[in-house]
Chains A and B, each alone.
Chain A
């Protein structure tokens, strides 16, 4: 029995469009179902419409503090696992406040293997606490 990777639904939130588009493409090549949002408004809309299982969140979004974006996403989608991605070398105070509730914290530039592994671990954590893997089509088994 071989466990094949479920098509994890990922929302990538980053104001650097080139970065978001490229990382999205690389994750899609690895089998993830990825949506990218480059503004906080698009992020909230995408989260509501696609109900992602894992969110990669840039802490420095224009117009709203990253911690506020995190809190709003978590309150409207309590089951989602959020991985914080930041270009800053160190966490600021507000990032520290929320880091305990985030799945993990990655510093740019990131290795694609690390991102993929974190997404997978985050998805597994989410699935383990939700009944039936937390969704209809997740975690398929194949011979």
Chain B
């Protein structure tokens, strides 16, 4: 059982930022789940209505419609369960301060959990996460925080119906995550509680500002963050040199817990 660290005088710098990030993920997730439950509630209610109103009319029940409705409930429950699995994995990422993890998994989790935040701005993710990317060593939740800030900054500068592309690439001894705005720029910077605290700073910050903004997380990860003139932000992570056996990390079965291997 991992030790739970509560804020103290010795609380590490950045603790509040991580709490705010977790709070944002939880608020987006619970909103999403409330919608899922509302759909399940209405679909189950419709099932009752079909029986009640069909029976009341003296006619036969529409079996096909009833079966379709039952299937809709099953599908919705599966979708909700998948979201819960993502949140469970997200939580377990914080079990160990340093571990060896799969970058693509952390991106998939994060984007699933904050997808509603993006879709509320009428934006969408475009993921290109090829298999075979090496494991990296560090704190996966710090990487997710860093990506969240980058995504929030890109989101603040994009017009509706644009995309945020996330691409991973394996080089000799590094894994690069490319975060790329795809589409038109926003005419004005939207001010939204959804993007706080990341949007408190303009998305068009200069490179020095950029370094400051992402410095804490990138230092912790030993990562290099760069931004090109066209707004593409790249995060370069060193691959893990720790020799490990086959990890359960490559298991993608639904419901599997996170599989980061702690580094002693």
Which A positions have Cβ atoms within 8 angstroms of B? 16, 18-19, 22-23, 25-26, 29, 60, 62-63, 87-89, 92, 108-110, 112
Find chain B residues with CB under 8 A from A87 CB. Answer: 31, 34-35, 38
The complex places the Cα of A62 from the Cα of B53 at a distance, in Å, of 35
- Please determine whether A60 and B31 come into contact, CB atoms closer than 8 angstroms: yes
Find chain A residues with CB under 8 A from B53 CB. Answer: 29
Which B positions have Cβ atoms within 8 angstroms of A? 30-31, 34-35, 37-43, 45-46, 49, 53, 72, 76, 119-122, 160, 193
Residue from A25, A88, A109 in contact with B37 in the complex, judged by beta carbons closer than 8 Å: A109
Find chain B residues with CB under 8 A from A108 CB. Answer: 34-35, 37-38
Find chain B residues with CB under 8 A from A110 CB. Answer: 38, 41
Residue from A29, A62, A92 in contact with B119 in the complex, judged by beta carbons closer than 8 Å: A62
The complex places the Cα of A88 from the Cα of B120 at a distance, in Å, of 14
Say whether chain B's binding surface is mostly helix, strand, loop, or mixed: helix
- Please determine whether A16 and B121 come into contact, CB atoms closer than 8 angstroms: no
Knowing A19-B38, A87-B35, A110-B38 touch, does A63 contact B122 (C-beta < 8 A)? yes
Find chain B residues with CB under 8 A from A18 CB. Answer: 39, 43, 72, 76
Chain B residue nearest to A18 in the complex (CB)? B39
Closest 7 CB pairs of A and B: A109-B41, A108-B38, A109-B38, A87-B34, A22-B42, A63-B122, A19-B39
Knowing A18-B72, A62-B119, A63-B122 touch, does A23 contact B31 (C-beta < 8 A)? no
14 A–B pairs (Cβ distance < 8 Å), ordered by A: A18-B39, A26-B45, A60-B120, A63-B121, A63-B160, A87-B31, A88-B31, A89-B30, A92-B193, A108-B38, A109-B34, A109-B38, A112-B42, A112-B49
Chain A residue nearest to B161 in the complex (CB)? A63
- For the complex formed, measure the closest distance between the CB of B161 and the CB atoms of chain A, giving whole angstroms: 9
- For the complex formed, measure the closest distance between the CB of B58 and the CB atoms of chain A, giving whole angstroms: 15
The complex places the Cα of A87 from the Cα of B53 at a distance, in Å, of 28
- Please determine whether A62 and B38 come into contact, CB atoms closer than 8 angstroms: no
The complex places the Cα of A125 from the Cα of B46 at a distance, in Å, of 28
- Please determine whether A19 and B42 come into contact, CB atoms closer than 8 angstroms: yes
- Please determine whether A25 and B46 come into contact, CB atoms closer than 8 angstroms: yes
- Please determine whether A26 and B46 come into contact, CB atoms closer than 8 angstroms: yes
Find chain B residues with CB under 8 A from A88 CB. Answer: 31, 34
Chain B residue nearest to A65 in the complex (CB)? B192
